[in-house]
Structure 1
Amino acid sequence: MDLGAARTRIYVKGKGIVLDEPSAVLRDRDTGRILGYGAEAARGEPCWPIKGGLPVDGVLAQRMIRHFLRKVHRHPFARPRMVMAVPDDADAIERAALRDLAFEVEARGVLLIPHALAAALGAGVPVDDHAGRMVIDIGRDSARVAILSHGELVAAGRAPGGGHAMNRSIASLIEHDHGLLIDEGEAEAAKRRAGPQWKPLHRQVLIHGRDPHTGAERTERVPVQRIYEATRQPVESIVRAALDTMERCPDELATDLGERGAVLVGGGALLRGLARRLRTGLCMPVRRAERPPESVVLGLGQCVDDLGLIAKLSDRLRADRRAKVRT
């Protein structure tokens, strides 16, 4: 289970990804009664009980996950073994909270995998050699930067905002240029309509919003280039976070990164021209994963299909350390 701030994805052994829904819970404002979860909740003004891969509202997160599991297994008393991604900078208390959450929803076992390692596995990045690899995951509430070597986290950083900051920037630009108010959902949709490709520059996307003076709904055509320009500041913050993370890793790994570069994952990685912009800012190769939004859950899926995978990586790492001590 990839428990993301924006979406929750579940991978089942032998079936692949079987659920991909917003990490949202809709409650009645007056009574507090829960009206819907996931896709049903996203139609209103929902609560988002997950932030940074961790529960910020334990009760709502528990109910949401229980709903998703019942939807997947179609049985109220299913007790699956769970593999979950844990944030790279999570402390012991946060890791314990994630484990407790899994057991509260009746999991009979839980294995926590470092988020960056899961993303790298899902993106097809080799993680069992000594070379340095950078993973940039652009989520809803932040962009996470991690440097891996031999399956182990070497350095990690974070840029606040992530996809949410990009959406706010797009909404501000639409209001400034066209006098049109749009919500975060429409800003996200506009970002997706723009697409990941850099060309052609003259393309336009339709934006649906509300006129603040009349309250009437209105549609405007916005050049894709303007959406690109609106996200300049959030992208620059990701570049700074990546450079700061590189400064904290050994020189030999920094050299590896200059040759092998970084891989982009997460829903925000679909932003048009993002890989090219990061490539320019970081002066290194940057590529987008084949399936950026699903990279983490696909990596967790590899661990589900082969529960000994992480143990194998750990055994290799210990063997290499012993070899270095002998030499």
Structure 2
Amino acid sequence: MSLLGVDLGAARTRIYARRRGIVLDEPSAVVRDARTGRIVSYGAETGDDGHETCRPVSGGLPADDELTRLLVRHFLRRVHRRPFARPRLVMAVPEHATAIDRAALREVAYEAEARGLLLVPHGLAAALGAGVPVGDGAGWMVIDIGRDAARVAVLSHGAVVAAGTVPVGGRALTLAVARLVEREHGLLLDEDEVEAVKREHGPPDRQVLVRGRDAETGRERAASLPVRLVREATRQPVETIAQAAVDTVERCPPELVADLGERGAVLVGGGALLRGLDRWLRVALRMPVRRAERPVESVALGLGRCVEDQDLVNRLKAVAP
């Protein structure tokens, strides 16, 4: 049986194949001709000048059904080694997804030539990939900071007990830093440069060297930015994420709240790479907070565990939406 785990993220799509691990990790992007609408390229092949880059996935769900189906079908054809055997897919579904949302994911899978689909709650997939022992009765929290949303899930007995979502993710953190640099130094930074700044760490008075394009002249130049300002710029989105976690905890039974105070939360997703985020959330939530060993790949690795362990897949069917 051919079984693939597909982590359909707003920023990137990752596919996990049995015994092969993560075999695809590319941007969830489609490039098309702005004039004719013709598809030019997908994923890592994007970036052609003069064309429109579309991101058809938002919050783990199709924002543009047709483009998402084309994107997933393209990726599956690249990694699936058996052209005459349609694969079964394991995909993560956000806890807040409606019946219509789940139907859209199933349509994406079937249009991409899959012969079956198992939907696993997103928080459960993230926890599995982060190494959280979700099968026991203790309470655990996972905070996944994706490109355009942060998702919080509290798990116990292999199921999601409480969940929350806010439309603030890694992109909000990136924009906050980019606006800071433009305001303070008149520099326009590309996304890679902002990501490097977000991951810098050290004492508040430490200076970070940034390179960008002058907003007035268009010429490239450098400027020094205190780490303190980066932290201040990202404070508001971080506080929004922290409040979502607090609200989720408040919906949990008292015994799970006590567990969380002892075991705490695990950070996953690209936004988890923001330096100092674990410490900020630790103070805000008053519980232990740690970053997963491979935060960016946690959901894909969790789906991979389902792909590798058929018994685990069967057990999860009872809790899959």
Counterpart pick for 1:22 among 15, 27, 44: 27
Tell me, in whole angstroms, the C-alpha distance in 2 between the residues paired with 1:110 and 1:287. Answer: 32
Tell me, in whole angstroms, the C-alpha distance in 1 between the residues paired with 2:150 and 2:59. Answer: 9
Deviates more, 1:271-280 or 1:33-42: 33-42
CA gap 1:128/1:51 in 2 versus in 1, 3 angstroms:
same
Identity of aligned residues (%): 66
Tell me, in whole angstroms, the C-alpha distance in 2 between the residues paired with 1:19 and 1:150. Answer: 31
Unaligned stretches of 5+ in structure 2?
1-5
Q: 1:95-114: per-residue Cα shift (whole Å, max 9, x none)?
A: 11101110000001111111
CA gap 1:72/1:314 in 2 versus in 1, 3 angstroms:
closer
Q: Which residue of 2 aligns with 1:287?
A: 290
Tell me, in whole angstroms, the C-alpha distance in 2 between the residues paired with 1:104 and 1:314. Answer: 22
Tell me, in whole angstroms, the C-alpha distance in 1 between the residues paired with 2:24 and 2:149. Answer: 23
| Amino acid aligned to 1:277 | W
Residue 207 of structure 1 aligns to a residue in which SS? Answer: strand
TM-score for both structures, normalised by structure 2: 0.91
Tell me, in whole angstroms, the C-alpha distance in 2 between the residues paired with 1:136 and 1:42. Answer: 31
- 2:27 maps to 1:40: no
Tell me, in whole angstroms, the C-alpha distance in 2 between the residues paired with 1:239 and 1:7. Answer: 24
Write out aligned runs for 1:49-68 (5 A). 49-68=56-75
Q: Which residue of 2 aligns with 1:157?
A: 164
Q: 1:262-284: per-residue Cα shift (whole Å, max 9, x none)?
A: 00000110110100110010000
Contact 2:202 2:227 in 1 (8 A): no
| Amino acid aligned to 2:23 | V
Runs of 4+ in 1 over 6 A off after TM superposition: none
Residue 82 of structure 1 aligns to a residue in which SS? Answer: strand
Write out aligned runs for 1:217-256 (5 A). 217-256=220-259
Cα drift, residue 203 of structure 1:
5.1
CA gap 1:305/1:293 in 2 versus in 1, 3 angstroms:
same
Q: Which residue of 2 aligns with 1:174?
A: 181
- 2:154 maps to 1:147: yes
Tell me, in whole angstroms, the C-alpha distance in 2 between the residues paired with 1:25 and 1:314. Answer: 32
- 2:285 maps to 1:278: no
Contact 1:132 1:256 in 2 (8 A): yes
Residue 41 of structure 2 aligns to a residue in which SS? Answer: strand
Tell me, in whole angstroms, the C-alpha distance in 2 between the residues paired with 1:263 and 1:72. Answer: 30
Q: Which residue of 2 aligns with 1:118?
A: 125
CA gap 1:159/1:77 in 2 versus in 1, 3 angstroms:
same
| Amino acid aligned to 2:245 | A
Counterpart pick for 2:260 among 257, 260, 268: 257
Unaligned stretches of 5+ in structure 1?
318-327
- 2:8 maps to 1:3: yes
Cα drift, residue 80 of structure 1:
1.4
Contact 2:120 2:316 in 1 (8 A): no
TM-score for both structures, normalised by structure 1: 0.90
CA gap 1:111/1:282 in 2 versus in 1, 3 angstroms:
same
| Amino acid aligned to 2:10 | A
Q: Which residue of 1 aligns with 2:18?
A: 13
Counterpart pick for 1:73 among 73, 80, 103: 80
Write out aligned runs for 1:177-216 (5 A). 177-192=184-199, 194=200, 198-199=201-202, 204-216=207-219
Contact 2:168 2:241 in 1 (8 A): no
Tell me, in whole angstroms, the C-alpha distance in 2 between the residues paired with 1:202 and 1:263. Answer: 28
Deviates more, 1:218-227 or 1:110-119: 218-227
Tell me, in whole angstroms, the C-alpha distance in 2 between the residues paired with 1:185 and 1:77. Answer: 40
Deviates more, 1:27-36 or 1:12-21: 27-36
- Number of paired residues? 312
| Amino acid aligned to 1:24 | A
